[in-house]
Amino acid sequence: MFFKTEDRGRSVTIAGTGINLALGILYTWSIFKVAIKQSIEAGGAGAFNWNLASINDPYAVCCLVFACAMILAGKCQDTFGPRVTAFIGGILVGLGFIWISQSTAYMSWIIGFGFLVGTGIAFGYSSATPAALKWYPPTKTGKIAGIVVAGFGLASVYIAPLAKYLLSTYGMQISMLFFGIAFLVVMSILSMFLVNPPAGYVPKGFVERRADTPDNKVSRAMFHEKNFTTSQMIKTPQFWMLWVLYFMSAGAGLMVIGSVAGMAKSSLGESAFIAVAIMAIGNAGGRVVAGILSDRIGRTKTLACMFFFQAILMFAAIPIIGAGSTSALLLIFLATFIGFNYGANLTLFPSFTKDYWGMKNFGVNYGVIFTAWGAGGFVMSKTSQALAANTGSFSASFLIAGILLCVGIYFTFHLGNEPKSKEKAVAEQLAA
């Protein structure tokens, strides 16, 4: 709005990153969870009166709603543009936090944090990446996607200590009210900077790398042939493979992110929020590094590497978490690299979606793929909390996650080549 056309891509990318920096409050749930648990154990007037096994439920519901709402949010983004979509997201997230600031009741938090915040995050998140990607050539897909979504992962660096300060100084209700008002203001302002390129816009340096052509490049026209509708996308084997892979990787990462403050409590005490903040740096770093790396060596190879290292970390966590006295430094180191590998997925899967099925219906197509993220987060966070409540340890959860990731490594090598649109397949048959 205040930038020349050639500079607009940068402003959209900055605004999208800023929106994700706000929405990343989801990854600070473990801070809220510790405060809720302390309130349950303390009891008294106005205290949370929940079952300990249900503490993760608002977070699990939020993840599931976030993922499912991405389909509607993606459709809104494709139809009405990123500005309207982001504005709606800010309103919903703000209202959700204001709602839970008025109550400690279990169902109020399910509705406020689970449904309103979850839906709002979906609208805000779905508006940021597509808008930025449209201003840059395909050779920068991974890099730009990584930068934009890095904001979501990096959010806990400032939100974790801020949440800790607010909770200890003003209590839960006022803290949630503060976040609600802040979201309404910040998201409304940043949404104004999100805009799609004008019709006919050609990004500078537009070229797509392809290994199956003599000069390793294809034309703009060939790139735009890949405009799969959602119904066409779900008929390709790559869709189902990516969905399962996303379920595994997201479930493993969100399980740790949702509980890291609780796991660090015995080692760091009241400074457990530090583990959340440092993990966020790894989360954000993984998104940028994976994006740049995948642009150079390919998405599939990068994804396989990330699954491999994540599996090793999950198995390595079992003796560390199960130890009677855990080294704070070792726990933070482990959490940081788990966050790094998890964050990589949030760059790779939208990049896969754009590469495989095109940009025209990217919003809704990625929304459908993203349901795997929500399903994985819901299942693994619920399972993890239930196992921890029954056994007093997270060891079983890490074992299950590690096994799933090993299975995922196998699947990555069976993704195959990029699916072809019906038009391209017909053209190739005629050419033959």
Q: Looking at the predicted structure, is the pLDDT value of residue 423 above 60?
A: no
Q: Quick one: pLDDT at residue 428?
A: 43
Task: Answer whether residue 206 is part of any domain.
Answer: no
Integer Cα distance of 151 and 12 in angstroms? 13
Whether 341 has a pLDDT exceeding 70, the answer reads yes
Q: Which residues contact 25 (CB under 8 A, 6 or more apart)?
A: 155, 159, 163, 179
Residues sharing a CB contact under 8 Å with residue 333, sequence separation 6 or more, in sequence order: none
Q: What integer is the mean pLDDT of 136-147? A: 85
- Between residues 365 and 359, the one the model is more confident about: 365
Helices within 192-298 (DSSP H only): 220-224, 230-233, 237-257, 260-268, 273-297
| Backbone torsion region of residue 81, taken as left when φ is above 0, otherwise alpha when ψ lies between -120 and 50, otherwise beta | left
Calculate the average pLDDT of the chain.
81
pLDDT of residue 131: 87
Residue 429 in domain: no
Task: Categorize the per-residue pLDDT at 97 as very low, low, confident or very high, splitting at 50, 70 and 90.
Answer: very high
Q: Which of 45, 141, 111 is nearest to 359 (CA)?
A: 141
Residue 416 lies in a domain: yes
Conformation bin of residue 43: beta by default, left when phi > 0, alpha when psi is -120 to 50: left
The predicted model gives 267-292 an average pLDDT of 76
Q: What are the start-end ranges of the H helices in 269-361?
A: 273-297, 299-322, 328-357
Q: Please say whether the beta carbons of 401 and 380 come within 8 A.
A: yes
Which CATH number characterizes residue 182's domain?
A: 1.20.1250.20
Number of domains in the chain: 1
Distance CA 175, CA 167 (A): 6
For 200-252, what is each residue's pLDDT tens digit?
777 766 654 444 443 344 344 434 456 889 999 999 999 999 999 999 888 88
Assess if residue 245 is contained within a domain: yes
Domain housing 283: 5-197+225-422
pLDDT for 14-63, tens place per residue? 999 999 998 888 877 878 888 898 888 887 777 888 888 788 889 888 88
Within a domain: residue 323?
yes
Over the stretch 61-72, which tens digit does the pLDDT of each residue have? 888 898 889 899
Q: Is residue 346 in some structural domain?
A: yes
Instruction: Measure the CA–CA gap between 313 and 73, rounded to whole angstroms.
Output: 34
User: Residue 163 domain-assigned?
Assistant: yes
Residue 157: per-residue pLDDT: 80
Report H helices in 101-236: 106-109, 118-133, 141-154, 156-191, 220-224, 230-233
Cβ–Cβ < 8 Å for 373, 250: yes
Residue 12 covered by a domain: yes
Burial per residue of 38-49, b for 16 or more beta-carbon CB atoms within 10 angstroms, e otherwise: ebbeeeeeeebe
CA–CA separation, 21 and 156 (whole Å): 8
